């Protein structure tokens, strides 16, 4: 395989695009594609300030790398969830992010240590809730959403970006479609506009890249990222869905991309318009002020109140 | 495993229903379920005349068996497509249907021999069209839809029934969803009402049964059906989708049923309402009078006209 641009030995071949590229031209292509997606889906403008949720994995570090290379003002947010899992997972993640930053100019990092701020790690807090007892994933998602939104708002950022790639998004869409989760389908999008009631705009600039494409970019750029998945993700439905989609992709190159883009087109055509009504009403939480569908006190604040009353027992 | 009704050794265990039954109670359950689906989805009434499209396979013969057992007036339609495939497929199919009929009272059979009536078998006719050259499946579907509709109308039947099971329907839904085929999604349903412009009402009384359930019913009832799939079905996308769904079903018993019923619920809730607009306008064909979206002459009539002009060359 030869690079389509220069004829040198190709470093990556993307079957779904019928495109092979050498390392140098792959980096150019990947950055230009990201710029194109940011514009095409109106994610953010040149002068807007971007907060990237970074985990220490390939996707979020690659996203930070690309946005800085493209000249955006992009800072990072690392949420230390206090996950150990026998490999000091959260500490290792932070070390990768610090290593990434050490080698470059521009971009500062916010670190929120959940145990330090709220008095317990996410696995500890999850043990108190019924749905968190087996796995802390639901509680973890709740905590991350709240903290990302708070830091974006308090820091005056225009937009919150995450590194979700096509494999992530297609797996979520696949799960929501298998269950016809209309409320979730209505809200799944590469851009969620800021809401009047206080939710930051959320964007996913990598949503059209395959996971192997973001991994290849991180590799070529020499980004030292954490390979391990979160230890709690073992057996997750989303991982099963990714495997199923990968099996289908092998038979039909481009299937994942067509599936996701077809969904966006169907939505845009108004074909799924009835779903919007499934969207629940949001009210500000009495404690933290963030919008919630859960009544007067949001699930995040209730979590920590339950935790405190548990401590008192 | 013991039968839930009588404690005898179970013949089948349906994980998704958490139900095990002996042979006798399985037959009772299967027939009662069919009756329930016919009523619940308003497929047809006691006094209506049903035409069943029979292929000689397990599903359509089981359906005929059940409808006769339940006391419905149900006749069969066999369309001889002239498929050989090295095993005299169409002849073998008809032999199974005649064997089925020999052993029972009630129910008569219409046979339409495509080569006899239209001058060529389906594989022969398909060779003339571009889309039929590799595989005659598209042409075959076109021919079957036309003939089923014609015989239902000419014979004064109230409703046309097919033996499609859940595995069939879920695989079609899966394919249509992966591609977000809105027009097809709008039309996929266990009951398609008769249209003012001349399409017969179509129903699928077995759409909630797993394939292994219809196979078990045919086995227990001693129905001698044709095991072989159509020789042209090798490598069909629908077969790949069935395999994918079966892999997922193994991990999550009931997944296929939930997927399909969730789709019906979403449609009923109006969530997919925008899709209806994707439905094309139908006009009667100038030649045969059946409604068509293809202009003045329907695809079925054009097929045979192309065939005739091919003969003249």
Check if the beta carbon of residue A99 is closer than 8 Å to that of residue A173.
no
Q: Looking at residue A278, what is its pLDDT?
A: 54
Q: Which of B182, B248, B266 sits opposite A180 (nearest CB)?
A: B266
User: Which of the given ranges, A76-90, B22-36, B173-187, B266-280, has the highest pLDDT on average?
Assistant: B22-36
Check if the beta carbon of residue B74 is closer than 8 Å to that of residue B64.
yes
**B177: which chain A residues are within 8 Å (Cβ-Cβ)?**
177
Q: What is the DSSP string of B148-160?
A: HHHHHHHTT-SEE
Q: Please tell me the pTM assigned to this model.
A: 0.89
Q: What is the band of B128 on the pLDDT scale with cuts at 50, 70, 90?
A: confident
Distance (Å, whole) CA B86 – CA A99: 66
Please choose, from the candidates B192, B123, B193, B134, the residue with its C-alpha nearest in 3D space to the C-alpha of residue B164.
B192
- Per the rule left: phi > 0, alpha: psi between -120 and 50, beta: everything else, B2 is beta
Q: Using the 8-state DSSP alphabet, how is residue B233 labeled?
A: G
Q: Which residue of B has its CA nearest to A263?
A: B180
Q: Looking at residue A312, what is its pLDDT?
A: 47
CA atoms within 13 A on the CB side of B218: 26
Q: Looking at residue A311, what is its pLDDT?
A: 57
Q: What is the DSSP string of B150-204?
A: HHHHHTT-SEEE----HHHHHHHHHHHHHTT-HHHHHH--SEE---TTSPPEEE-
Helix B255-268 / helix B237-251 crossing angle, nearest 10 deg = 110
The b-or-e profile of A32-46 (16+ CB within 10 A means b, else e) is ebbbebbeebebbee
**B277: which chain A residues are within 8 Å (Cβ-Cβ)?**
271
> Residues of chain A whose pLDDT is less than 70?
130-133, 275-279, 310-313
In the stretch 207-226 of chain B, residues with CB closer than 8 A to chain A read none
State whether residue B257 sits within 8 Å of chain A by CB. Answer: no
State whether residue A279 sits within 8 Å of chain B by CB. Answer: no
State whether residue B263 sits within 8 Å of chain A by CB. Answer: yes
Task: List pLDDT tens digits, range A219-247.
Answer: 999 999 999 989 998 888 899 999 999 99
Distance (Å, whole) CA B238 – CA B243: 9
Q: What is the band of B131 on the pLDDT scale with cuts at 50, 70, 90?
A: low
Contact A258 B182 (CB under 8 A): no
Q: Looking at residue A313, what is its pLDDT?
A: 44
Q: Looking at residue B132, what is its pLDDT?
A: 63
Separation in Å, CA A29 to CA A14, A36, A68, A168, A214: 12, 10, 16, 21, 12
Please choose, from the candidates B281, B169, B210, B206, the residue with its C-alpha nearest in 3D space to the C-alpha of residue B177.
B169
Q: What is the mean pLDDT of residues B8-23?
A: 94
State whether residue B240 sits within 8 Å of chain A by CB. Answer: yes
Q: What is the mean pLDDT of residues B100-122?
A: 92
State whether residue B281 sits within 8 Å of chain A by CB. Answer: no
Q: What percent of chain B is modeled with pLDDT above 70?
A: 95
Contact A182 B244 (CB under 8 A): no
Phi/psi of residue A14, nearest 5 degrees: -105, 100
Task: List pLDDT tens digits, range B159-199.
Answer: 999 999 999 999 999 999 999 988 889 889 999 999 877 78
């Amino acid at each position: 395989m030869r690079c389509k641009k220069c004829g040198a030995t190709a470093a990556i071949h993307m079957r779904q695009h019928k495109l092979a590229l050498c390392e140098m031209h792959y980096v150019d292509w990947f950055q230009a594609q990201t710029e194109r997606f940011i514009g095409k889906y109106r994610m953010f403008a040149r002068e807007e300030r971007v907060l990237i949720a970074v985990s220490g994995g390939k996707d979020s570090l690659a996203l930070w790398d690309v946005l800085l290379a493209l000249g955006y003002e992009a800072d990072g947010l690392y949420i230390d969830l206090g996950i150990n899992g026998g490999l000091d997972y959260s500490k290792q993640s932070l070390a990768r992010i610090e290593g990434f930053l050490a080698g470059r100019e521009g971009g500062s990092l916010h670190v929120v240590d959940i145990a330090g701020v709220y008095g317990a790690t996410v696995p500890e807090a999850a043990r108190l809730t019924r749905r968190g007892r087996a796995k802390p994933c639901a509680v973890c998602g709740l905590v991350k959403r709240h903290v990302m939104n708070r830091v974006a708002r308090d820091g005056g950022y225009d937009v919150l970006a995450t590194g979700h790639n096509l494999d992530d998004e297609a797996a979520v869409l696949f799960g929501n479609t298998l269950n016809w989760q209309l409320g979730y389908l209505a809200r799944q999008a590469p851009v969620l506009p800021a809401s009047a009631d206080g939710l930051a705009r959320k964007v996913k600039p990598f949503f059209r890249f395959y996971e192997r494409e973001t991994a290849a970019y991180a590799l070529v750029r020499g980004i030292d990222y954490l390979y391990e998945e979160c230890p709690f993700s073992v057996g997750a439905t989303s991982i099963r869905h990714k495997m199923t989609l990968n099996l289908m992709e092998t038979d039909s190159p481009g299937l994942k991309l067509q599936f996701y883009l077809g969904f966006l087109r169907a939505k845009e055509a108004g074909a799924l318009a009835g779903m919007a009504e499934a969207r629940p009403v949001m009210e500000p939480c009495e404690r933290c002020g963030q919008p919630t569908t859960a009544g007067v006190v949001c699930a995040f604040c209730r979590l920590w109140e339950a935790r405190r009353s548990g401590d008192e027992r």
